[in-house]
Amino acid sequence: MKRILFKTTIPRVEDDWHVGRFSLLLQHVESLRDHRNAPIFSVAARDRSTDADGNDPDLVALPDSDFDQLWLFATDVGAGLSTNDAIAIRRFIARGGGLLFTRDHHDVGACLLKLGEIGHAHFFNSANREPEPRRHCVDDIYTRTISFPNYHSGRNGDLQLIEPEAPVHTLLRREGIEPIVRFPAHPHEGVVGVPEAAMGCARVIAKGRSRISSREFDSIVAFDPDPAQGRGRAVAHSSFHHFADYNWDPRFGCPSFVTDPEGDQVLADASALDDIHAYVSNVALWLARELN
């Protein structure tokens, strides 16, 4: 059985985006079965903890662990990774470990930049901004406390239509055929892109579109293995809200600092989550090299 570590970059704080707020994602991944109806994945879900040196024991041990994948939810607004944590994650990827890493608007999760070249798939406000200066502006005009990047793909609890890039990547096909086009929405998503050093072995595979400005933004980047750079497969996401319980079912609730109006599309349509479920299954299998 393949082992996956779900990890947030914050300590357990009940009124925040702790790892318990990704329980539906965990349940779905652990529900996946092989042709013998045996479970494919076992998931350990943990929030950040630190030792006396400020390092996370799970992360520094990762390269020599029996985990096959790391799904890193960068939900912090400060120093969510130590230097040694970042070095260990890079070593884990270099030995073939799979990585999904995601953050949110503005500078949430900016600790991902410590991952080096691969971390630069994420653009932030105070560092590693989007290359086009014209994009350095507020998109979500309703939440005054959040600055760019903050693309408004829809209300929490609603759906957005993502736009798969041609040729459609394996990750974005249901049953290997139909394109995946519906994702949970969020009123202020971050943004991703292909780092210059990864040109040729990484590409944008899906774009979102703002419901305010109609502006496209890069939503998902997929990295193929690159032995020269010491890297296995990886997937960068513009927002952890694509995976959060609250965005899959608003009845699960959210931290008290979230004050955006809720939508109801995921509750009104029994098939609303079919695409994101298929996508999550694809990610787990692709990172495990069970899907080409």
Average pLDDT of adjacent 10-residue blocks, the chain of 292 residues = 98 97 98 96 98 98 98 94 98 95 98 96 97 96 94 98 97 91 98 92 97 97 81 94 98 97 97 98 97 90
pLDDT (0 to 100) of residue 174:
93
Q: Report which of 73, 66, 63 is spatially closest to residue 21, judged by C-alpha positions.
A: 73
Q: How distant is the alpha carbon of residue 211 from its chain centre?
A: 21
pLDDT (0 to 100) of residue 284:
98
Structure tokens at 179: 């394109």
The answer to whether 107 touches 125, Cβ cutoff 8 Å, is yes
Task: Kindly report whether the global pTM for this prediction surpasses the value 0.95.
Answer: yes
Specify whether the backbone of 188 is left (phi greater than 0), alpha (psi in -120 to 50) or beta. Answer: beta
pLDDT (0 to 100) of residue 292:
87
pLDDT (0 to 100) of residue 231:
75
User: What is the C-alpha to C-alpha distance for residues 99 and 248, in angstroms, rounded to an integer?
Assistant: 22
Amino acid at 43: V
Which element (helix H / strand E) includes 91?
Answer: helix 83-94
Q: Which domains does the chain have, with CATH numbers?
A: 2-287 (3.40.50.880)
pLDDT (0 to 100) of residue 134:
95
Q: Which residue has the tokens 């925040």?
A: 16
pLDDT (0 to 100) of residue 51:
97
pLDDT (0 to 100) of residue 230:
67
> Is the peptide bond preceding residue 250 cis, with omega within 30 degrees of 0?
no
pLDDT (0 to 100) of residue 232:
84
